[in-house]
Chain A
Amino acid sequence: MNTYKRRKIASKLMCAAAFLCAFLTLVPLISIFGYVFAKGIASINPDFFTNLPRPVGEPGGGMSNAIVGTLILIGLSCLWAIPLGIIGGIFLSEFGNNKLGTTVRFTADVLNGVPSIVIGIFAYTLFVLPMKSFSAISGAFALGMIMIPTIMRTTEEMLRMVPRTLREAALALGISQFRTTVSIVLRTALPGILTGILLAIARIAGETAPLLFTAFGNRFWHQSLTQPIAALPLQIFVYAISPFDDWRRQAWAGAFVLIVIIFLISFISRFVIGLHYKSPSSR
């Protein structure tokens, strides 16, 4: 009876400990969101979205160039990473059941695990050194490298989920495999692929490390895509480690805007998933 009681108590204690772990983790989460929202909203104003950064000592100013810069960088990286990722995913699901496919899959997983700062070094040696200038292009290259594995593997998974019978029906009608894949399989899997792309964008929107020595940041509007460009995460970093109160306040405002952007993208992707599951996949 005694041992039984002890075992019962031990069981209760361990279960309580597990419960505690789960709810303890919410403490930093709440603290982070509390700080970002409280300090962010307190220091945000219309100027923040329309003005350029001001020099130290001059109050006011904003991050308009950084917000636009981040959007440009995201757009540029999508421009090359989405086609490459989707076509790579098509290869993996349609022709990838062999050694070559395994190699590509393995490489994508390796790329997914590479620290983003290392990808920054790569973009630096590939673009910044030969061009002798930090540039938006090199930043977009680095961000795209980070997007590719996510897009590639989600595309593969989504294409694999399309029923075999759908492909067979199309092929039996004499449609080429190219048309079958593009017009039927890819179309059916589109919402899933879109979700993967949005998740990849949400991931790179907040990336700072690979931009440090590629996009570099800029206190003014960028002149061209071969020039340094401002980015929201970079600006937050620079302002956060600065000794000036006004800049620090703006860092919080920037963090607030960045988090809102990222969550907006995540929510849209959830919405897309929701649509996908409501509509029956057999059209």
Chain B
Amino acid sequence: MKIKFVDQAFKRATTVMALSVVALVVLLVFSMACRSMPAIRKFGWHFLFTGTWDPVKEVFGALPFIFGTVVSSALALLIAVPVSLGIAVYLAELAPSYIKQPLSFLIELLAAIPSVVYGLWGIFALAPFLRGSIQPFLSKYFGFLPIFQGEFYGVGMLTAGIILSIMIIPTISSISREVFLAVPFSQREAALALGATRWEAIRLAVLGYARPGVMGAVILGLGRALGETMAVTMVIGNRPEISASLFAPSYTMASVIANEFTEATGNLYLSALVEIGLILFFVTLVVNIIARALVWKVSGKVKGEIRE
């Protein structure tokens, strides 16, 4: 009788604690929605489509930040996806076993570096390097493209995109590698038995089979890039303008919150910043849900959870 009572209480207590985590997340959404109400009421949908950000006149539009977040993340994916897939193919299919372990350890080290250290390196190593060699090169040979025109500052959209790509490579490559390893061996053997070369077997049997999982890995990387704050804030230049050139300074949703939140005077200003945070929350939520659904589709019931 006593045991039964204790067990009941134990079950209740753990349930309450677990539900309190759910309650915290609900409270997060609710409190942010409340805080952003003044801005939502005042600007409505215009908030998403206007480019004026004027704290003095209290006119707020988030378009430049949305643009900056979308373009910097897209740029990051453009660089990170091919490289990560190359890494995953090499680690899962080609590398000799004595290279596999140390190499994947080293690449995962990239994920352990704090974002503020990436930013520090970005300011003092990457940005001067880009300004000194890469940007002049791009503007000399590809300068006819509008994305490679204008002044070189070092800091700007291109630098942010490159830093983001380095930060999401470990995420995308490690999940892709696990998805590749989940492809049954019979698939590869069948392709090889039909006379496929090594690469053809990888392309047809492994990449084809793993496509939804790789998509999931890419989208998970996107989720990380969208919300990344410090490193981007330190190298993107922080200017709320929409420019066609990748050399120009820009601004992202996360970095405007980081830079202006503590100095936001006035209710409307603060509420506009919280609204940007709320948008960021919902975008990353949708992105993560899609990604997880895709990864699960391939790996089925993978042992353990796939995480960054």
Contact = CB atoms under 8 A, between A and B. Distances in A.
Interface of A: 7-8, 10-12, 14-15, 17-22, 24-26, 28-29, 31-32, 35-36, 83-84, 87-88, 90-92, 94-96, 100, 103-104, 107-122, 124-126, 145, 148, 150, 152-153, 157, 174, 176-178, 181, 202, 205-209, 212-213, 216, 233, 236-237, 240-241, 248, 251-252, 255, 258-259, 262-263, 266
Contact of B82 (A21, A87, A88, A241): A21
B35 A17 contact: no
A237 B25 contact: no
B281 A11 contact: no
A230 to B, nearest CB: 14
A174 B198 CA distance: 59
Contacts of A25: 83, 87, 107, 110, 166, 169, 173
A31 B305 contact: no
Contact of A233 (B116, B173, B292): B116
B261 A124 contact: yes
B253 to A, nearest CB: 9
Contact of A35 (B85, B124, B274, B292): B124
A159 B85 CA distance: 33
Contacts of A19: 86, 90, 94
A177 B10 contact: yes
Nearest to A39: B124
A252 B119 CA distance: 11
Interface stretch (B14-22, B137-145, B208-216): B14-22
A125 B173 CA distance: 37
A118 B15 contact: no
11 contacts: A26-B107, A28-B166, A31-B121, A90-B14, A104-B18, A116-B227, A117-B258, A118-B280, A121-B277, A174-B3, A209-B229
Interface residues of B, number: 86
A91 B173 CA distance: 32
A21 B124 contact: no
A203 B11 CA distance: 31
Contacts of B120: 36, 236, 240, 251-252, 255
B285 interface: yes
A18 B285 contact: no
Contacts of B287: 113
B227 A206 contact: no
A35 B95 contact: no
A113 B18 contact: no
A222 B305 CA distance: 39
Given A95-B11, A100-B15, A103-B22, 18 more contacts: A15-B94, A15-B199, A25-B110, A29-B107, A91-B14, A104-B19, A114-B28, A114-B285, A122-B31, A178-B10, A206-B116, A208-B114, A213-B261, A240-B119, A240-B124, A248-B124, A258-B116, A266-B112
Given A104-B21, A112-B307, A113-B285, A21 B166 contact: no
B56 interface: no
B277 A255 contact: no
B243 interface: no
Contacts of A205: 114
A115 B112 contact: no
